[in-house]
Amino acid sequence: MISRRKAVLCSLIFVLTMTGLQWSQGHQVMASASLAQTSAPVLKAYEAHFPIVIDSNDGFTAWEFLGSGTEADPYIIEGLNITAEGYCISIFATSVFFVIRDCYFKSVQHSAAIRLNQVAFGHVERCKMVQSGEGLWLVQSSDCTVDNITVYGCSRGVNIDWSHDISISNSKIFSNNYGIDVEWSDNCSIVDNKIYRNVLRGVSLDANTSSCSIYANSIGWNGELYPGIQESNAEDYGQDNLWDDNLSTGNYWTDYDNDGPYEIELGSAFSVDRHPQILNDTSAPTINSPSDVILEQGSSGAYVIWAPRDEFPYEYALHKDGILFMELTWDGEDIEIHITGAQPGWHNFTLFVYDAFENVVNDTINASIIADVFGGAGTELVAAASLVSVVAVVVVLLAVKKMR
């Protein structure tokens, strides 16, 4: 009698559990999530804008920028996203104070993202200039400051030409052909920047450059991206340029051998950094782990945001089901992907994040797309199917208890 009851109970367990599973499987299909787009979340805070051309002091007023042009109340250009075929911003022949800040610029025809020509008292801060001819080009200008900018993917990150009293500080300049190129200029300062992974040179001072100061910078992994090209962090063909602060602070170099002064071997100036230090990076980037994604088929999708961080960000690679999907420059900000539910299915996305020394970290998220059935009730049906299975187990347990 007991054996017969056990057989009945086993049958009941099987029938009820399979009913729940079949209901679930009959109303959802797991197949393939699709990656619709990638974007930098920071761009969402910028306002799309036409290219800006200013050719006199009055030009700032004509564009209705806030400010009066004094040192205490400079004209303000901020919060703009400009992608242009030529210059994104061109300012010519001005002598009033102005600030360009918190903007994103890209010149698709490889002109300069920002050109300041015959300008005095300009200030550029917290801007990104990418994939352009020059990120920032200062020509015949003076008394301008540049702080906390990010420049990558350009022929020259920053080009200072026929200018004097220009300062660049606290900036990331990487993955360009030249990081900072100074020509026919004097009394410029390059202080506390990260200048790395540029194809040809990190810092270049030409034969007509003099009395410039370069110190407290991290300069590394430049000029070593192609076979046969030796690491070339800096060159100096000028006169009386200082590669330390003339006191106790020099620069950090990846090719310093920790023995005496660091010699700027390229160029005719025979310059030295008298207080060099070794630049080394043994720590991989850090990264968070976003939650997995469950979507209804045909929904608007979901955004997944990774927040990796590193002192020397370089690039990232996104793999879709183990296959490389895209590889892009990483500027140290969040990385966002948009997953849509075009087709039902299962998918996984693995993000690999690299720093300049090619230390790497990765994280994987899973995405499941639920078929749109019964008016988009797929998610609820999955939950209901799970509930049926739980109820089945509870019913069986109660039946067992009653038979005893």
Claim to verify: residue 208 and residue 106 sit in the same structural domain: yes
Does any domain span residue 75?
yes
In this prediction, residue 298 carries a pLDDT of 79
**3-state SS string for 257-324:** CCCCCEECCECCCCCEECCCEECCCCCCCECCCCCCEEEECCCCCEEEEECCECCCEEEEEEEECCEE
In a domain, 239, yes or no: yes
Report if residue 384 sits inside a domain: no
* Sheet of 313-320, strand order: 293-296, 360-370, 345-355, 313-320, 323-329
Q: What is the CATH number of the domain that holds 317?
A: 2.60.40.10
Could you tell me if 63 and 168 lie in one domain?
A: yes
**In terms of domains, do 252 and 310 share one?**
no
CATH assignment at residue 96: 2.160.20.10
Same structural domain, 225 and 250: yes
Tell me whether residue 224 is exposed, middle or buried, using C-beta atoms within 10 angstroms of its C-beta: 0 to 12, 13 to 18, 19 or more. middle
Q: Which domain holds residue 86?
A: 42-278
Residue 365 and residue 232 share a domain: no
- Looking at the fold, whether 158 and 221 belong to one and the same domain comes out as yes
Pair (74, 132) in one structural domain:
yes
The reply to whether 386 falls in a domain is no
What is the total count of domains within the chain? Answer: 2
Same structural domain for residues 127 and 221?
A: yes
On whether both 273 and 295 belong to a single domain, the answer is no
List the chain pLDDT tens, one digit each, 404 residues.
445 444 444 444 444 444 433 333 332 223 344 554 444 445 667 999 999 999 999 999 999 999 999 999 999 999 999 999 999 999 999 999 999 999 999 999 889 999 999 999 999 999 999 999 999 999 999 999 999 999 999 999 999 999 999 999 999 999 999 999 999 999 999 999 999 999 999 999 999 999 999 999 999 999 976 666 667 999 999 999 999 999 999 999 999 999 999 999 999 999 999 999 999 999 999 999 999 999 888 788 899 999 999 999 999 999 999 999 999 999 999 999 998 876 788 899 999 999 999 999 999 999 998 886 544 444 454 445 545 454 554 454 555 455 55
